[in-house]
Amino acid sequence: MAAVRATFSLGRVAGIRVGVHWSVLVIFGVILVGLAEGGFREAHPDRPVWQYWAASAVTAAVFLLSLLAHELSHALVARRNGVSVDGITLWLLGGLARLRNEAATPGAELRIAGVGPLVSLVLGGLFAVAAGLLAGLSDAGLAVGALAWLAAINILLAIFNALPAAPLDGGRLLRAIVWWKTGSPLRATAVATAAGRVLGWLLVGIGVYLVLFGAVFSGIWLVIIGWFVIAMATAEGGQARLRELLGGIPVSDAMTPDPVTVPAASTVREFLADPRLRYRHSAFPVVDDGDTAVGLVTLKDADAVTEPERASRTVADVMVPVDELPTPRPDDPLARLVPELQAGSVHRALVLEGGRLAGIVTSSDISRVTSWLMSSSAWRRRAM
């Protein structure tokens, strides 16, 4: 999920970054054509063609806003329960609230997971009530049809998301319950991800059955959703095993200490022209005049600045600010840092000690430590 990156940004809602992946156009197009050429036209014949397309476009847009409300509820409740939120992205299969770290308790996990289906259910009820209120008007057929469709799709979304299988919200609820009963978040994740794989293969099987019996579009869509559920459940299981592997390992064991830094006041041209910086790494911590870490600059972001602007724009203009980066202490658990690195846009963390930059950790550093642990005799004995 972390790999789904926004193609363009919609700004911030309640302080949370919201983006849209290009694949959302597929959802919008499917709903637009399906309603304009199918559902609306069949239910309300003899209307001007433009009315079908206008009503379908508005319905598709409101549905995407419903998805945003669902994910925004997760993000807001997560933030209230001490979980950092990297942002929200709408994409092909719905929405994704990217959380930088995990819930600290089963109760927090329960609240974060449960609010999404609840919001979808409430929205479905509100759309149903609105459809009922407009049903008595003689010329409101299309509006009633649109509201009824939105009510049904939101209620279906709530029911589907409540299924007890990762990575769905119901899988998070199942994980919270098993965690509360057993005291083991790892065992809880194993149960939820196993249920997710079962559900995924069931959806794939139903999809193949539908394709064989003529419902090609619905069948292919179910196969895609099922495959997505299998892939994400498997990924979550792998992440849980990784956290177990890294248990007891501090951040200091993975970090590169005293990394090369870049002054925030340097111009982009100076930064790119310094071979000492350009060829050693692909990203560098940025410090102010007092040697306090203020962000991270990547060669990719610096290269994106046009040649005429490089002499006037500073590194501070193109860096990722420090408040958008994970900033663990050297003695923090490395396992806790893993989901933050995966959720972040640059997959790097600045290690701070008393406000001073102590080191930097990358995804490659995590892989190096993991490989060492997997090959060590101490880990093999532990795994047995």
Task: Give me the phi and psi of 16, to 5 degrees please.
Answer: -105, 130
Neighbours of 100 (CB within 10 A): 20
Task: Give me the phi and psi of 350, to 5 degrees please.
Answer: -95, 125
Closest by CA to 268, choosing from 223, 309, 217, is: 309
Task: Give residues with Cβ within 8 angstroms of 49, minimum separation 6.
Answer: none
Catalytic residue among 42, 71, 102, 244: 71
Q: How far apart are CA 155 and CA 188, in angstroms?
A: 27
Q: Is 71 a catalytic residue?
A: yes
Q: Do residues 40 and 58 make contact, with C-beta atoms less than 8 angstroms apart?
A: no
Q: Do residues 231 and 166 make contact, with C-beta atoms less than 8 angstroms apart?
A: no
Closest by CA to 124, choosing from 141, 148, 105, 146, is: 148
Q: How many separate helices (H) and strands (E) can be counted in the chain?
A: 15, 11
Give catalytic residues, as residue numbers: 71
